Amino acid sequence: MAHSFLETVQKHLQIAADVVQLPRHVADILAHPKNEIIVNFPVRMDDGSMRIFTGYRIQHNNIRGPYKGGIRYHQDVNLDDVKALAALMTWKCSLMDIPFGGAKGGVKVNPHLHSKDELMRITRRFTHALGSNIGPDYDIPAPDVGTNAQVMVWMMDTYMNRSDDLTKNAQRGIVTGKTINAGGSQGREQATGQGVAFCVREWARMKGIVLSGKRAIIQGFGNVGSYAAKFLDQLGVRVVAVGDHTGYLRNERGFDVAKLFNHARQFGSLAGFQEGDPISRDEFFQTKADIFIPAALENQITSKEAEWLEVQCVVEGANGPTSPDGDTVLTAKKIDVIPDILANAGGVTVSYFEWIQNKRSEFWDLEEVEQKLEKKMVKAYAKVMEYSKRKGISNRIAAYAIALENLKVAYEERGIFP
């Protein structure tokens, strides 16, 4: 049966709520976002014409700390998907023991169809339209699909220009994932892909698998996919098939990952890369490998793709890449799933480090950031595996359950106002 992304997330919430015996009223609170903000705003195009854009910010929950979550620029952005993504952020921050809540936002726009100047004006007007609905101690955006460090710097600059001179510099933490120059953290750009690779490493270690020479396939070669490829390459894993919105490529000997990475950076996609055979999306999912990293969009692994997959492990770099039917097939085939809220939590973890550095006017070196990230990822990974084994439940429900246990305590201690 086909489920929307939001239904999928809500279904997982219900199952995990039963596992932790979450009080009914807390489950009800968490089934709905606290705030749903929709803004329509005009932007002048390069040719002088005016276009109206629709933007969203969903603030799911902030009992454990300020709302936190990415901003997506994509033509398919819609209210329900952003609600699902915002809820995932609440679970993710809780699972990682980061003092943030969950949020997500986006603009319905295909960024590939706009010039840099237009993207800047879209970003500035969107930030302006959000106004005081965001703030460095209230709701802190970050990059997601279709946005990057440059977009975050435009958001920061726009927000800072709303404040008076005396407090301007205290507003730097309004976004994370900024360029280093603008107050970003070392290691943030690669953090999500690096976190994915830490999960792969821990998976192999716990299973007694030698990673060197193993094969990986990666869907999505943007921020998460390309850095995951880089770190897997460093672990000796061969990346044998990749794909993005422009198509799929296979190279049985293993791609020269550095070359592939530079190509994607230079041209914005995999299109035109010569050292691989073009294959269809179906052939991509049928490529025999050991590890699959979905790093594109949600609902990519339905029962059909799951039937095709010939891998030992799926490490979810993307948010919500597996449908419930896909999950059922993966479980039946005994394919290990490292769920999104664990596997891609490296990004928000280093975003948290960036936020702390901004607050304290500090700059940590890369080594320090990487060590702290590794510690957090390894700890959370072990926790999820231990919990799922002890309770006899899937890794996904275990990850949700750990997140819900922390939220349950927060609601028990604080109660419901008034």
Interface positions with ligand NAD (CB under 6 A): 143-146, 192, 219-225, 243-245, 269, 295-297, 317-319, 344, 347
Tokens of 16: 């995990």
Q: Which is nearer to ligand NAD, 20 or 101 (CB)?
A: 101
Which residues partner with 69 through β-bridges? Answer: 141
| Helix pair angle (79-95, 346-360), 10° resolution | 70
Taking the CA atoms of 27, 30, 34 and 36 in sequence, report the sign of the dihedral they define. negative
Dihedral pair phi/psi, residue 66, rounded to 5°: -55, 150
Contact by Cβ (8 Å): 304, 328: no
CB atoms within 10 A of CB 57: 26
Q: Which is nearer to ligand NAD, 66 or 346 (CB)?
A: 346
Q: Whole-angstrom Cα distance, residue 380 to residue 20?
A: 18
Least gap, CB of 146 to ligand NAD (angstroms)? 5
Least gap, CB of 1 to ligand NAD (angstroms)? 22
Question: Catalytic residue among 68, 92, 104, 376, which?
Answer: 104
Contact by Cβ (8 Å): 193, 230: yes
Q: Whole-angstrom Cα distance, residue 66 to residue 103?
A: 9
Tokens of 15: 């199952």
Least gap, CB of 221 to ligand NAD (angstroms)? 4
| Helix pair angle (149-160, 116-130), 10° resolution | 50
Least gap, CB of 172 to ligand NAD (angstroms)? 19
Least gap, CB of 347 to ligand NAD (angstroms)? 3
CB atoms within 10 A of CB 325: 17
Tokens of 198: 């830490």
- What is the residue type of 410? A
Closest CB to ligand NAD: residue number = 222
Q: Whole-angstrom Cα distance, residue 75 to residue 245?
A: 13
Q: Which is nearer to ligand NAD, 144 or 370 (CB)?
A: 144
Q: Which is nearer to ligand NAD, 144 or 354 (CB)?
A: 144
Tokens of 173: 């933490």
Q: Which is nearer to ligand NAD, 90 or 344 (CB)?
A: 344
Catalytic annotation present for 104 = yes
Least gap, CB of 369 to ligand NAD (angstroms)? 14
Rg (CA), the chain: 20
Q: Whole-angstrom Cα distance, residue 107 to residue 176?
A: 18
Q: Which is nearer to ligand NAD, 219 or 388 (CB)?
A: 219
Distances (CA, A) of 82 to 282, 303, 317, 412: 28, 24, 17, 28
Least gap, CB of 302 to ligand NAD (angstroms)? 13
Residues serving a catalytic function are 104
